[in-house]
């Protein structure tokens, strides 16, 4: 077991898991929050004592979420579920557990007063609206009065009004950062830094400038002018905060999902008790400052989905830590860490993601089946299907990965044929096959969701529905083909069995030279009656019979369509030169014959039973 460092006296739970859900390490706080005391199992879901946490963590394993909050002993705890990949394969899972109240208490000392900034922004909007208009009117009247009054006084008044209006415009830009509705663009953050530094070329002669750009082509998305103005203010403040011979350091680096920019100075620093006010309008440490520059910078960065954090020590300097989400194009060039995306094309990246994580999502799917469909896993285990999936991966995930770029219809159908025939041969129930296919569909969509979340990639609504139709069409093609081959095999097998049964169900037995008997037993439907007619005509011709006894005493019920087939047999036999004796007619069959208007003529002899028919054959010899 390991222990975790404690920062600001706030402890947190930490759990490390293998991809299959077995516990690798857990600290004391994690044990207290998560694990029941009794039990030797290393499998997480057999040790969790809180059912709500168990359910939420299961959703995380299934890719439905990556964080949640639960209440433990009246305290709210924030759970963060994080996957670590090595060479595109899932290596470890870490679960972090934080006390929300402790986080909030700690955050108050380092919160840059976003709520206060928002409130002041709203207030500023009101002030600007109420004050700027009358000031503008006053300035207009002063311009009209210039010809008759002291020019100097009027110029001073206009200058002061211009200053007031400029201040109010600054307030408006803080309260309405999207006032000018600048469009989002993709641009190089390092190139913009270079262009800003050119504006301070004279000041840079008196200080040392250190630039450390890890990737000079790093691209971010945002409102370029807003971000550039924010960076200008941060660099300007850093230069002004330093005496001569100070050091300005600008660093750029990145990880899998973000581009980071640090701006550090060795200036006078900011007292800790004032740090939380940084970025608030009118807060400044400069004698002639208004505090609007940093307020605008904070708003511009936050409204362009950037993150900003500040550390400072009085007399030692200040560092602004900025971070921006990567663009898709730049994510592909990242060489450190373990990025999920390998090409610009998101379909290529998604296909690779599914291949690389086949084992992980197969295990998640099997785990889901064990927990929710144990009857299915038992049957799959008995037939060797589950072992095959554990070894080679879920076939539907592989099919989607292989076909997401180019639909490989023939390969899909060939695989479906192989598995469909196998399922039919081992008599695996078709409804259970469909059930486990649909559960695999759910796992695939969990994987797709995880891909777009972890890659910081995005789809618009139209592209999402195109992807949804395309992926589901691939899965449906496999399922439909599997079902077709399964059912076709069963039909062929049933047909073969039925032909065998049909052959056995028309036993025409020779009794004497040119005399045969056909005992009909059991229920006779239209299909069987037709087969009896076909077989009987063929056998009568083959045996060169001249007289055939048809005994139907073993038939409990015959419908009207079957009666018609039986009398077609009689007519067909007559055409072949054979007469017929019908025995065993029940009252119900006789009644049906009367309803149909079937009359008994010389073509057909009837006897009450088989014994009487055999006696007739013994009394009269054939061929005389």
Return the beta strands (E) in 103-163 as ranges.
none
pLDDT of 262 over the 70 cut: yes
Residue that terminates a domain, selected from 302, 328, 354: 328
Q: 309 lies in a domain? A: yes
Rounded Cα distance between 575 and 590, Å, is 25
pLDDT more than 70, % of the chain: 74
Locate 60 and state its tokens.
């995380």
Mean pLDDT of 231-251: 86
Q: Residues 96, 14: contact at Cβ < 8 Å?
A: yes
Mean pLDDT of 192-220: 85
Lowest mean pLDDT among 28-32, 119-123, 252-256: 119-123
CA distances from 408 to 126, 404, 489 (A): 62, 9, 24
Q: 417 lies in a domain? A: yes
What single-letter DSSP state applies at residue 44? G
What single-letter DSSP state applies at residue 326? B
Closest CA to 452 of 563, 564, 328, 571: 328
Q: Does 323 lie in the same domain as 193?
A: yes
Q: Give the pLDDT of residue 182.
A: 65
Q: Domain containing 452 — which CATH number? A: 1.10.490
Paired with 323 in beta bridges are 260, 307
Band the pLDDT of 252: cuts 50, 70, 90.
very high
Band the pLDDT of 344: cuts 50, 70, 90.
very low
Q: Does 315 lie in the same domain as 454?
A: no
pLDDT of 340 over the 70 cut: no
Rounded Cα distance between 544 and 573, Å, is 11
Q: Residues 412, 437: contact at Cβ < 8 Å?
A: no
Rounded Cα distance between 224 and 187, Å, is 7
What's the mean pLDDT when you consider all of the chain? 76
Rounded Cα distance between 113 and 283, Å, is 12
Paired with 49 in beta bridges are none
Residues 6 or more apart from 203 whose CB is under 8 A from it?
239
Q: Domain containing 74 — which CATH number? A: 3.30.450.20
pLDDT of 112 over the 50 cut: no
Q: Does 523 lie in the same domain as 413?
A: no
Q: Residues 283, 245: contact at Cβ < 8 Å?
A: no
Q: Does 204 lie in the same domain as 260?
A: yes
Q: Does 368 lie in the same domain as 492?
A: yes
- Length of the chain, please? 624
Q: Domain containing 530 — which CATH number? A: 3.30.750.24
C-beta neighbour count of 410 within 10 angstroms = 8
Residues 6 or more apart from 103 whose CB is under 8 A from it?
10, 78
Q: 341 lies in a domain? A: no
Closest CA to 583 of 559, 563, 562, 611: 611
Q: Does 321 lie in the same domain as 192?
A: yes
Q: Residues 431, 402: contact at Cβ < 8 Å?
A: no
Q: 336 lies in a domain? A: no
C-beta neighbour count of 112 within 10 angstroms = 20
Phi, psi of 549, rounded to the nearest 5 degrees: -100, 120
Lowest mean pLDDT among 265-274, 394-403, 584-593, 598-607: 598-607
Q: Give the pLDDT of residue 261.
A: 92
Closest CA to 572 of 537, 603, 606: 537
Residue that terminates a domain, selected from 482, 498, 514: 498
N-to-C CA span, the chain: 106
Q: Does 352 lie in the same domain as 493?
A: yes
State pLDDT tens for residues 71-105.
Answer: 888 788 888 888 887 776 778 888 988 887 777 66
Q: 6 lies in a domain? A: no
Phi, psi of 2, rounded to the nearest 5 degrees: -125, 165
Q: Does 406 lie in the same domain as 520?
A: no
Degrees to nearest 5, angle at CA 533 with 527 and 535: 100
Q: Does 223 lie in the same domain as 132?
A: no
Q: Give the pLDDT of residue 195.
A: 86
Q: 578 lies in a domain? A: yes
Q: 337 lies in a domain? A: no
Q: Give the pLDDT of residue 574.
A: 85
Q: Residues 360, 400: contact at Cβ < 8 Å?
A: no
Please indicate whether residue 612 or residue 150 has the higher confidence score (pLDDT). Answer: 612
Helix or strand or coil: residue 4? Answer: coil
Q: Give the pLDDT of residue 264.
A: 92
Q: Give the pLDDT of residue 152.
A: 65
Phi, psi of 281, rounded to the nearest 5 degrees: -55, 135
Residue that terminates a domain, selected from 105, 132, 157: 105
pLDDT of 254 over the 60 cut: yes
Degrees to nearest 5, angle at CA 588 with 587 and 592: 115
Locate 258 and state its tokens.
């973000």
Segments forming the whole domain that contains residue 164: 114-175
Q: Give the pLDDT of residue 118.
A: 52
Closest CA to 290 of 193, 180, 175, 166: 166
Q: Give the pLDDT of residue 250.
A: 93
- How, if at all, do strands 547-554 and 579-583 pair? parallel
Q: Residues 543, 516: contact at Cβ < 8 Å?
A: yes
Mean pLDDT of 18-23: 82
Q: Does 600 lie in the same domain as 534?
A: yes
Band the pLDDT of 622: cuts 50, 70, 90.
very low
Degrees to nearest 5, angle at CA 122 with 117 and 127: 115
Rounded Cα distance between 589 and 352, Å, is 70
Handedness of CA 30, 36, 40, 45 (dihedral sign): negative
Band the pLDDT of 336: cuts 50, 70, 90.
very low
Give the burial class of 245: count Cβ atoms within 10 A of its Cβ; 0-12 exposed, 13-18 middle, 19 or more buried: exposed
Owner of token pair 């486990």: 436
Q: Does 487 lie in the same domain as 373?
A: yes
Q: Give the pLDDT of residue 64.
A: 73
Q: Give the pLDDT of residue 42.
A: 80
Handedness of CA 137, 138, 141, 142 (dihedral sign): negative
Q: Domain containing 311 — which CATH number? A: 3.30.565.10
pLDDT of 421 over the 60 cut: yes
Please indicate whether residue 402 or residue 294 has the higher confidence score (pLDDT). Answer: 402
State pLDDT tens for residues 503-558.
Answer: 666 678 888 888 888 888 777 777 777 778 888 888 888 888 888 888 888 777 76
* Structural domain count, the chain: 5
Rounded Cα distance between 509 and 515, Å, is 9
Band the pLDDT of 109: cuts 50, 70, 90.
very low
Q: 85 lies in a domain? A: yes
Degrees to nearest 5, angle at CA 380 with 375 and 384: 150
Q: Does 119 lie in the same domain as 67?
A: no
Q: Give the pLDDT of residue 179.
A: 41
């Amino acid at each position: 077991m390991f222990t975790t460092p404690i920062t600001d006296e706030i402890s947190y739970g930490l759990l490390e898991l293998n991809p299959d859900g077995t516990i690798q390490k857990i600290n004391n706080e994690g044990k207290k929050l998560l694990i029941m005391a009794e039990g030797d199992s290393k499998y997480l879901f057999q040790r969790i004592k809180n059912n709500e946490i168990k359910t939420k963590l299961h959703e995380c394993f299934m890719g439905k979420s990556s964080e949640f909050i639960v209440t433990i002993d009246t305290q709210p705890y924030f759970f963060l579920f994080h996957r670590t990949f090595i060479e595109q394969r899932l290596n470890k899972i870490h679960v972090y557990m934080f006390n929300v109240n402790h986080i909030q208490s700690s955050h108050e000392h380092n919160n840059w007063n976003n709520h206060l900034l928002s409130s002041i922004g709203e207030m500023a909007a009101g002030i600007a609206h109420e004050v700027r208009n009358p000031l503008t009117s006053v300035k207009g009247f002063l311009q009209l009065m210039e010809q008759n009054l002291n020019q100097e006084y009027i110029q001073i008044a206009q200058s002061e009004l211009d200053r007031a209006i400029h201040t109010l415009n600054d307030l408006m830009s803080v309260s309405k950062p999207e006032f000018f509705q600048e469009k989002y663009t993709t641009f190089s953050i390092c190139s913009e830094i270079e262009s800003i530094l050119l504006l301070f070329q004279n000041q840079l002669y008196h200080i040392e400038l250190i630039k450390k750009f890890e990737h000079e082509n790093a691209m971010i998305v945002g409102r370029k002018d807003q971000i550039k103005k924010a960076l200008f203010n941060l660099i300007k403040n850093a230069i002004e905060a330093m005496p001569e011979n100070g050091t300005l350091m600008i660093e750029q680096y990145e990880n899998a999902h973000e581009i980071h920019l640090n701006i550090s100075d060795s200036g006078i620093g900011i007292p800790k008790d004032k740090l939380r006010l940084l970025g608030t309008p009118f807060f400044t440490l400069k004698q002639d400052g208004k505090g609007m520059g940093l307020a605008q910078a904070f708003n511009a960065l936050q409204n362009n989905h950037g993150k900003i954090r500040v550390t400072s020590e009085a007399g030692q300097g200040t560092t602004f830590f900025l971070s921006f989400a990567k663009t898709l194009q730049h994510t592909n060039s990242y060489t450190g860490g373990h990025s999920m995306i390998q090409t610009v094309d998101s379909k290529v990246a998604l296909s690779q993601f599914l291949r690389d994580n086949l084992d992980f999502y197969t295990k998640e799917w099997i785990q889901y089946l064990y927990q929710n469909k144990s009857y299915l896993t038992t049957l799959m285990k008995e037939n060797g299907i589950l072992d095959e999936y554990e070894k080679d991966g879920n076939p539907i995930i592989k099919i989607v990965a292989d076909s997401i770029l180019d639909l490989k219809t023939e390969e899909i159908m060939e695989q479906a044929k192989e598995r469909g025939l196998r399922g039919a041969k081992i008599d695996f129930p078709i409804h259970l096959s469909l059930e486990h296919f649909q559960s695999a569909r759910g796992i695939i969509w969990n994987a797709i969701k995880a891909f777009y979340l972890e890659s910081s990639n995005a789809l618009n609504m139209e592209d999402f529905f195109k992807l949804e139709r395309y992926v589901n069409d691939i899965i449906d093609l496999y399922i439909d083909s599997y079902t077709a081959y399964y059912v076709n095999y069963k039909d062929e097998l049933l047909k073969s069995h039925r032909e065998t049964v049909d052959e056995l169900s028309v036993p025409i037995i020779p009794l004497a030279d040119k005399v045969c008997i056909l005992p009909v037993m059991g229920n006779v439907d239209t299909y069987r009656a037709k087969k009896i007619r076909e077989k009987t005509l063929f056998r009568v011709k083959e045996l060169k019979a001249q007289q055939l006894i048809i005994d139907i005493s073993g038939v409990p019920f015959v419908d009207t369509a079957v009666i018609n087939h039986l009398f077609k047999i009689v007519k067909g036999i007559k055409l072949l030169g054979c007469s017929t004796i019908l025995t065993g007619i029940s009252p119900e069959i006789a009644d049906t014959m009367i309803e149909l208007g079937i009359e008994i003529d010389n073509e057909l002899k009837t006897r009450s039973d088989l014994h009487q028919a055999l006696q007739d054959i013994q009394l009269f010899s054939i061929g005389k």
